[in-house]
Amino acid sequence: MTVNSNDIEAIVREVLNSMDGKGSPAAAADTGRTAYDIPSTAHCAFLTDLKHFEIKEFPMPEVGDDEILVKVEGTGICGTDGAEYKFDPFKYIPINLGHEGTGTVVKIGKNVKKDSAGKPLKLGDKVVTCMIFHDDPDITMFDLNKQNIGEADVYGLIPDDDRHLTGWFSDYILIRGGSTVFNVSDMDLDSRILIEPCAVLIHAVERAKSTGILRFNSRVVVQGCGPIGLICVAVLRTMGITNIVTVDGNDERLNFSHEMGATGHVNFLNHKGIENLAAAVKSELGGYLADFAFQCTGSPAGHSNIYKFIRNGGGLCELGFFINGGDATINPHFDICSKEITTVGSWVYTLRDYATTFEFLKAAKRDGVPMDRLITHKFALKDINEAFETNIAQKGLKIAVLSN
């Protein structure tokens, strides 16, 4: 017997109509139920001591009318995660870490219809989260810098509660009511894992642009070629800046920076003393000091040195210190005042930066920037301790933990 497509649709429709509603997609839309096979328990990687994760199992929580249950696909390891793993600077232990995550909506409360940008949100959509703003009226989608968002929370860096599933290093995460969430179903998994760190750099470049110094023809120095510095190069190159010199002590990372868009590089290990190092940077910039510099290392010595790379009247964006890395020594007269350096700090991102980040990642892919090669290692959730050891040993660039 030959069955055409109309017959198949009719059969499927009949089967769905005969269901009791517990697994029906139609029922899911009406009541918040789901067609997905959700287990009775979830697993979370908890940092229970310095340099030690344990996989804990918890009952799957009920999903409220304003909440979303997400099956986690993958999560990147951030430098902040690494610092918490080694030192617990925030005094969060025990904690379910992970804030660079993404996954699939498998259960959705009946009141949840749209994401934070007004885009429809439904079962099966791929999502990421941004900051949790606690309904602060001074922070809106289209308000870039009216108020610093340093007091906002983020999943993966908040205390545990009686429902758990608060970080992305899990196989499920419960997005609570009032949170920010974005539908990114049009992006592949690797791109989605990179959204959060890329938003950090989108925000930093927007802060740099606010000085009026960073322009298309600017000569730029990016100090530090970890994931943050390399993404910085990619953002600058994608926005049209073509004279970018990177500074680092790792030749492999420096060479890769050229694939991300750098036009020159300097290995600081090859130059003894700041004057020689500054001369090497100037040579790579065609005999000029930088119009603008981005300090991405989190090293006090790096911050002290970078002023020597910048011309009179130039600009600096400091974004490397996401935790307290210690004091830096500068000479305010020579480094800032006499050169009239304009300095801006950059801290995380805004909702608007997330929207811009989506467009950046698509543009970078279209332009052939190898963003996917930033993710050099992928580990299963059960191997998260090995993943973190690989990260702190700097054996790769971006390390990801996959939950599926």
Which tens digits make up the pLDDT trace of 14-32? 333 333 333 333 334 434 4
- Report the Cα 393 to chain-centroid distance in Å: 20
pLDDT (tens digit, 9 = 90+) per residue, 291-321? 999 999 999 999 999 999 999 999 999 999 9
Average pLDDT over the chain, rounded to whole?
89
- CATH architecture classification, 25-193+373-402: Alpha-Beta Complex (3.90)
> Is the predicted pLDDT of residue 237 greater than 70, yes or no?
yes
Task: Choose among 220, 214, 194, 221: nearest CA to 365.
Answer: 194
Cβ count near 276 (within 10 Å): 12
Q: Name the helix (H) or strand (E) containing 356.
A: helix 351-366
| 268 and 275 Cβ atoms separated by less than 8 Å | no
Q: Distance between CA atoms of 225 and 258, rounded to whole angstroms?
A: 11
Q: Do 199-345 and 25-193+373-402 have the same topology in CATH?
A: no
Q: Are strands 398-402 and 68-76 parallel, antiparallel or unpaired?
A: antiparallel
> Is the predicted pLDDT of residue 384 greater than 60, yes or no?
yes
> Is the predicted pLDDT of residue 11 greater than 50, yes or no?
no
pLDDT (tens digit, 9 = 90+) per residue, 120-138? 999 999 999 998 876 565 5
Task: Give the CATH class of 199-345.
Answer: alpha beta
Give the pLDDT score at 153: 87
Q: Binning pLDDT at 50, 70 and 90, where does residue 36 land? A: confident
Sequence ranges of the domains in the chain: 25-193+373-402, 199-345
> Is the predicted pLDDT of residue 79 greater than 80, yes or no?
yes
Give the pLDDT score at 351: 83
| Secondary structure letter of residue 120 according to DSSP | B
